[in-house]
Structure 1
Amino acid sequence: MTTRPIDALADIADQIRDQAEEAERLGQLPTETAKKLKSAGVMKMLAPANYGGLETHPREFAETVMKAASLDGATGWVCGIVGVHPWQMAFADPKVQEEVWGEDDNTWIASPYAPTGVATPVDGGYRFSGRWQFSSGTDHCDWIFLGALLGDENGVPQMPPTMLHMILPRSDYTIVEDSWNVVGLKGTGSKDIVVKDAFVPSYRVMNGDHVIDGTAQAEAGMTKTLFKMPWSSMFPLGITSAVVGLAEGALACHLDYQRDRIGAQGQAIKDDPYTLFAIGEAAADINAARQELLANIDEIWDLVDAGKEVDFERRAAGRRTQIRAAWRAVMAVDQIFARSGGNALRMDKPLQRFWRDAHAGLNHAIHVPSTPWHASALTSMGFDAPDQLRAMI
């Protein structure tokens, strides 16, 4: 592949913009959109080179997701979430890598990781059941990562809890149709998943706690900087990049909309200093969100590349920065949307979709500021963060 995915996206920008309404109507990305994204190679950016992956710097991955989301929020969201899964698959058991990518190295992998299933040990693996929400892009994926709690012989979660990441083929789970009736990001098709008494062999199971703390990467013998990056830096990156890209798309729509608009009092918006001030401030905040997110991932990359530990305090600070970038960008969108007049509410105007999608993006658990900010504040003062504050950091 000689063309960078971000450049390939530029070549199909009009098609991605044009399919946004259809994606909302379908409640998932159209098949043709998924084909175009596959051809662009977006989901191969973080995949290992031995399976045709590009092993791209995370910064370029984030910039590519932002670009996609600026064209259509749902497309960017799917790129950000499905696109990060190959990074984790790179340090899974080689046997499951071959099953996933052996015949098609552009196979997509879905999630979610929320541990709403129970895995009961049996001979050779686990017996597994559960139901999960929010499997973004799932209709176009043939494998899935699903979060689980380790259960005892009766299927009761063990205490203290152990989180597992189960890897299943499409034949072992069911996508629940009509389970994604939402106000924003409807085109992501983030439907429910059901697993009923599936057998999952041990080589298709990863210890979720070890993935998050870096033990899994070390045990897999990963030596490349990309695959030694902290999970709490990589997994949130695609999601927050999509939100920042959504804000950039909203700003672009707003500028197009306001350029020739006449306000309620007969004044051209281009002559309204109050609206222009709001546009300038919002543009600065959206750019600041982009720059702080990219600078954060660059700094963590440099630490890992230099062989230094990314300790808990730095990881918590990284999560703080990542969350703040998302909120800063969406609050800026609110400022311009509130100054767009009543016609911006019309469903045939793309600005209202960007506004809805941006707010929906903040509802992801990775954007909840409470515990990461609490942990960051404590550790920055030299105190240890208790266990309840360490989740997803």
Structure 2
Amino acid sequence: MVTVVEKKALYDSMMQKAKRIGEAAEQEAMEAEQNRTISQRVADIIREEKIHRLILPKEFGYPQLDWRTYVDMISTVGYYNLSAAWLTYFFCLHNAWVCYYPKHIRDEVINQGGFVADVFAPVGKVEPVEGGYLISGKYHFVSGINYCDWVGVGAMMKFDDNDKPERVGILLKVKDLKIVKDWDSLGLRGTGSNTIIVDKVFVEPDKILRFSKIIEKSQPPYDDFDEDYLYFNTPFYPGFYVGFAAMALGGAQRVLDEFKKHTVGRVRFSGVKEKESPTSQRVLSELTLEYISAKCLMEEYIKMMEADKGGPYEGAKYKAIRAKIIDKCVNIGTKALLTLGAHAVVKGHPVELFTRDLMTIGTHITSLYEDGIIGYGRHLFGIETNIQG
């Protein structure tokens, strides 16, 4: 009974944190749209609530979240503002890959306390030099970089124990690179996903993370690790990507609420109240059932993560479920927008804003619907896909 009460108290606390962040970001939504980033105030609230320290091993003194609490926290922020949900997710998530570095690197980053960004597209050039490497590259879409002290970047490298080059993550300090503030997008404008330029930055070998090693073994390369830590007990990539579907669910729920609110107050030229129209009744019913089915898929995804502890797992299934959830949420936005009519496309209307943001979530490389569905179909026919989740 004590455990149940404690878990409920933790859950309620996380939802309050999420609500505070979301409401603050919602108040500044149009300012963030114009500035193409959340404000310092919202970033400070995320820091005050210690969101960037939530997903950490227990030795750092923070609560161990279960997957449902984590997913619901991200969804709750998303209900109020999807750009803020994106960054809330990233600022707590990115410490997860930091925890796979050797302990002295992990501790340096975590104890310093700064936000961590990443962009692991393997576009970097790695040049061996005495004592380490020089890293160069131009990386786009680095979400939240305006407020980060650390960033992980991607490259391909060859190692002695592998006959093929492999994808790696390289940890850098933001002060050692250049930020180009060029983010100007359809949606998620408040994420400040700017470009960074890395120009021959020196990095020690122990700040290079081999993702192949994480795929082989979900635990880190040191012995006394926290065996209860969330990311050490599930396939890494499905756990790393779960937040995209989580925030989409929050945004879709908000669209449904806004659709109902604006339909109730709408009267057509003929004098017919729109809530009495079979058209809007059917749409609300249909979209609500779509949302319920998306929530059920999220529950299945969580159950899979809780069950898959070590050994082979169905990466293609994870990706397909996530893509299907997000696709359903995008369709909820677009159908609601088209049904509400012209007033809903006015800049700043909640349905207009959330629909653009949902569409942009759907364009993320891990969310692309056709890739996810086709990959799972190949997997079902026994064809190798190499999809990690």
Give the alignment's TM-score, normalised by structure 2.
0.89
State the match for 1:74 in structure 2: 83
State the match for 1:155 in structure 2: none
Contact 2:330 2:359 in 1 (8 A): yes
Counterpart Cα distance in 1 of 2:270 and 2:103: 66
- Select 1:299's aligned residue among 304, 314, 321: 304
- Select 1:207's aligned residue among 205, 210, 215: 210
Contact 1:375 1:390 in 2 (8 A): no
Contact 1:232 1:319 in 2 (8 A): no
1:9 has 2:4 as partner: no
State the match for 1:34 in structure 2: 43
Cα gap change, 1:271/1:374 in structure 2, threshold over 3 Å: closer, same or farther? closer
- Select 2:157's aligned residue among 140, 150, 156: 150
User: Counterpart of 1:161 in structure 2: which amino acid?
Assistant: P
State the match for 1:132 in structure 2: 139
Gaps of 5+ in 1: 153-157
State the match for 2:65 in structure 1: 56
Counterpart Cα distance in 2 of 1:207 and 1:368: 25
Contact 1:80 1:237 in 2 (8 A): no
Cα gap change, 1:259/1:48 in structure 2, threshold over 3 Å: closer, same or farther? same
Counterpart Cα distance in 2 of 1:369 and 1:345: 25
Cα gap change, 1:285/1:42 in structure 2, threshold over 3 Å: closer, same or farther? farther
Counterpart Cα distance in 1 of 2:163 and 2:38: 40
Counterpart Cα distance in 2 of 1:374 and 1:349: 35
Deviation at 1:235, TM superposition (A): 1.8
1:241 has 2:246 as partner: yes
Gaps of 5+ in 2: 1-8
State the match for 2:324 in structure 1: 324
Counterpart Cα distance in 1 of 2:304 and 2:99: 22
User: Counterpart of 2:117 in structure 1: which amino acid?
Assistant: A
State the match for 2:187 in structure 1: 184
Contact 1:5 1:41 in 2 (8 A): no
Counterpart secondary structure, 1:38: helix
Counterpart secondary structure, 1:175: strand
Contact 2:21 2:84 in 1 (8 A): no
Deviation at 1:330, TM superposition (A): 0.9
Percent identical: 19
1:390 has 2:376 as partner: no
Counterpart secondary structure, 1:327: helix
Q: How many residues align?
A: 375
Contact 1:233 1:297 in 2 (8 A): no
- Select 1:219's aligned residue among 214, 218, 221: 221
Deviation at 1:14, TM superposition (A): 3.4
The residue correspondences of 1:236-385 to structure 2 (distance < 5 A) are 236-304=241-309, 309=311, 311-312=312-313, 314-381=314-381, 383-385=382-384
Counterpart Cα distance in 2 of 1:369 and 1:220: 37
Contact 1:44 1:52 in 2 (8 A): no
Contact 2:68 2:302 in 1 (8 A): yes
User: Counterpart of 1:136 in structure 2: which amino acid?
Assistant: S
Deviation at 1:242, TM superposition (A): 1.7
Deviation at 1:159, TM superposition (A): 8.2
Q: Deviations over 1:176-198 (max 9, x none)?
A: 12x10111111111111110000
Q: Deviations over 1:229-264 (max 9, x none)?
A: 212211211122122222122222222222211124
Cα gap change, 1:378/1:315 in structure 2, threshold over 3 Å: closer, same or farther? same
User: Counterpart of 2:145 in structure 1: which amino acid?
Assistant: T
Counterpart secondary structure, 1:265: coil
Deviation at 1:216, TM superposition (A): 6.2
1:23 has 2:23 as partner: no
Counterpart Cα distance in 2 of 1:180 and 1:303: 37
Counterpart secondary structure, 2:267: coil
Contact 2:115 2:150 in 1 (8 A): yes
Counterpart Cα distance in 2 of 1:31 and 1:336: 32
Contact 2:25 2:38 in 1 (8 A): no
State the match for 2:3 in structure 1: none
Contact 1:28 1:186 in 2 (8 A): yes
1:123 has 2:130 as partner: yes
Counterpart Cα distance in 2 of 1:13 and 1:160: 44
Counterpart Cα distance in 1 of 2:19 and 2:175: 35
Counterpart secondary structure, 2:120: coil
Cα gap change, 1:371/1:254 in structure 2, threshold over 3 Å: closer, same or farther? closer
Contact 2:315 2:388 in 1 (8 A): no
Which 4+ runs in 1 deviate beyond 4 A? none
Counterpart Cα distance in 1 of 2:332 and 2:370: 21
